[in-house]
């Protein structure tokens, strides 16, 4: 997820355009900004690149999810089905609009298990939110089908999968709405930023107002705007949008390097018959930011992680089962409903119930999974060296397990 690895003159030029006029806000100041509209330009570029009819930039990916949920009419009394393996932002956004996050099992796609989604549907379910984790996608045909059958909204959290596709369509553009994050470690970065994409004009107009205090952006100036509904400030700045504009022009380069590097590493790991790889519903659509792989048991996986650590190659290899950010096992704050202010009763009860929820099917997958981050900067020699060290460490762990130490 490495936009920051390719940062240079292009970003500086775009940012300097803004600094020259000094107009760092995306709205208004029509005269002094001298025709510089970086946020508008980036939104157009996003629509063109990903084939979305509308795009609304936000101050972060979390803000994009919050905005999308609000614009889709999801709030108090509603349940949103989401995966147990994601980034904390997914449930933060659901809680922030007053809705209840319902966390369900993932399968070997590392995203929502469609059967688990079906099992979780209640009268209160309003939305299914797949999270396309680690560069690749959920089984979208199955999820679209479920949403149609049950009249549910499909909101794609594609924050980690910029540039991924499913059957030729960009991830994030297939549901009623979808989001990207442009935070510092994502595939392309604005430093901080995000976007909601949708093909629905009504949803887009709501996103546009919601991210700017409810302004309808129809007045002759900001003071003359009407406020048809309550909004907040989730605006992106022109400086951030400028960075993103330079980055999005490099996206195809990033994707082709990722694909090449991921394929090279995968071919090396394939030597080990005990390794299996993440199930990818559309192999061609993998954005290849990570290579995610499994070993046969938790014990062997832990041993392999320890061997990789000893070999000095743990950085860049993520064992999510022990990670505090991405898997429910370590989300004590969520399971204890440790909010600073009062949650509504539905939310509080649902969070406390997570303490005893059976997610053993997810445990059985995530405890055997390692994701290797793919760098844009690796040389062929570096990939070979990294791959050899990984193969060596994994083989050691497998040998130890067969001799029973
Ligand atoms: C990064 C991320 C977000 C939130 O993005 P921010 O821009 O950091 O707020 C949401 N969901 C997922 C899956 C992410 O990886």
Q: Are residues 285 and 222 in the same domain?
A: no
Tokens of 63: 């803000």
Active-site pick, 38, 126, 186, 386: 186
Instruction: Say whether both 258 and 361 belong to one domain.
Output: yes
Place of tokens 């390692």: 370
Residue 405 has pLDDT above 80, yes or no: no
> Which of 251, 274, 306 finishes a domain?
251
| Per-residue pLDDT band at 168 (split at 50, 70, 90) | very high
The pLDDT score that the predictor gives to residue 208 is 98
* Ligand 1 center from residue 160 Cα (angstroms): 7
Q: Which of 251, 270, 291 is the last residue of a domain?
A: 251
Residue 49: which H helix or E strand, with range?
Answer: helix 38-50
260 and 172, same structural domain?
A: no
Per-residue pLDDT tens over the stretch 252-297? 999 999 999 999 999 999 999 999 999 999 999 999 999 999 999 9
Residues 6+ apart with CB under 8 A from 23: 29, 32, 33, 36, 238
89 Cα nearest atom in ligand 1: 10
Expressed as residue numbers, the domain containing 332 is 252-403
Residue 186 a catalytic site member: yes
The atom number, within ligand 1, closest to the CA of 160 reads 15
Q: How far is the CA of 75 from the centre of ligand 1 (A)?
A: 20
Together in a domain, 174 and 266: no
pLDDT of 220 reads 84
pLDDT at 402 over 70: yes
pTM of model > 0.85: yes
- Is the pLDDT at 166 greater than 80, yes or no? yes
pLDDT in tens, 39-53: 999 999 999 999 999
Residue 48, both tokens = 């063109």
- Give the ligand 1 atom nearest the CA of 186: 1
Place 62 in a pLDDT band, splitting at 50, 70 and 90.
very high
Distance 217 CA to ligand 1 centre (A): 27
Rounded CA-CA distance 4/95 in Å is 30
Note whether 143 and 235 are same-domain residues: yes
* Co-location of 243 and 232 in the same domain: yes
Q: What is the mean pLDDT of the chain?
A: 96
For residue 342, give both structure tokens: 């009062």
Q: pLDDT tens digits for 357-367?
A: 999 999 999 99
Residue whose Cα lies nearest atom 2 of ligand 1: it is 159
What domain count does the chain have? Answer: 2
Ligand 1 — pocket residues by CB below 6 A? 60-62, 86-87, 89-90, 131, 157, 159-160, 181, 183, 194
Question: Which pLDDT does position 2 carry in this prediction?
Answer: 74
Closest C-alpha to ligand 1, atom 4: 61
Is residue 11 over pLDDT 60? yes
Same domain, yes or no: 229 and 167: yes
Count of CB atoms within 10 A of residue 352's CB? 12
Q: Residue 161: is its pLDDT beyond 90?
A: yes
Same structural domain, 293 and 157: no
If asked whether residues 263 and 231 sit together in one domain, one would say no
Residue 184 has pLDDT above 90, yes or no: yes
pLDDT, residue 29, reads: 94
CATH number of the domain within which 146 lies: 3.40.640.10
- CATH number of the domain bearing residue 366: 3.90.1150.10
Chain segment 83-133, per-residue pLDDT in tens: 999 999 999 999 999 999 999 999 999 999 999 999 999 999 999 999 999
Give percent above pLDDT 90 in the chain: 94
| Residue having the nearest C-alpha atom to atom 15 of ligand 1 | 160
Measure 243 CA to ligand 1 centroid, in angstroms: 18
The residue out of 199, 221, 251 marking a domain boundary is 251
């Amino acid at each position: 997820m490495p936009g920051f690895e390719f940062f240079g003159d292009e970003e500086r030029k775009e940012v300097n355009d803004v600094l020259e006029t000094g107009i760092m806000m995306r709205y208004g100041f029509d005269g002094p900004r001298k025709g510089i509209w970086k946020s508008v330009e980036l939104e157009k570029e996003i629509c063109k690149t990903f084939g979305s009819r509308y795009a609304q930039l936000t101050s972060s990916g979390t803000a994009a999810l919050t905005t999308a949920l609000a614009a889709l009419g999801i709030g108090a009394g509603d349940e949103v089905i989401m995966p147990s393996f994601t980034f904390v932002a997914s449930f933060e956004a659901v809680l922030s609009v007053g809705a209840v996050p319902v966390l369900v099992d993932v399968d070997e796609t590392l995203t929502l298990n469609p059967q688990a989604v079906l099992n979780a549907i209640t009268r209160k379910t309003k939305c299914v939110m797949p999270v396309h984790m680690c560069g690749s996608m959920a089984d979208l045909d199955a999820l679209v089908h479920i949403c149609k059958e049950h009249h549910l909204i499909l909101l794609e959290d594609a924050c980690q999968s910029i540039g991924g596709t499913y059957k030729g369509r960009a991830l994030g553009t297939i549901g009623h709405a979808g989001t990207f994050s442009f935070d510092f470690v994502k595939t392309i970065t604005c430093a901080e930023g995000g976007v909601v994409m949708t093909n629905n004009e009504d949803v887009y107009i709501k996103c546009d107002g919601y991210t700017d205090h409810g302004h309808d952006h129809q007045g002759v100036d900001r003071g003359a705007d009407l406020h048809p509904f309550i909004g907040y400030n989730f605006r992106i700045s022109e400086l951030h949008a400028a960075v993103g504009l330079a980055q999005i022009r490099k996206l195809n380069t990033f994707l082709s390097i990722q694909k090449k590097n991921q394929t090279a590493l995968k071919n090396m790991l394939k030597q080990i018959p005990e390794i299996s790889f993440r199930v990818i519903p559309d192999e061609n659509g993998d954005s290849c930011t990570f290579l995610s792989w499994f070993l046969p048991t938790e014990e062997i996986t832990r041993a392999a992680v320890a061997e990789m650590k000893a070999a000095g190659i743990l950085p860049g290899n993520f064992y999510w089962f022990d990670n505090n950010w991405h898997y429910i096992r370590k989300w004590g704050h969520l399971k204890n409903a440790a909010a600073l202010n009062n949650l509504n009763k539905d939310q509080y009860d649902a969070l406390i119930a997570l303490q005893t929820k059976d997610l053993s099917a997810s445990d059985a997958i995530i405890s055997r999974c390692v994701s290797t981050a793919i760098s844009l900067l690796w040389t062929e020699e570096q990939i070979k060296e990294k791959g050899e060290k990984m193969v060596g460490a994994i083989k050691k762990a497998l040998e130890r397990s067969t001799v029973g130490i």
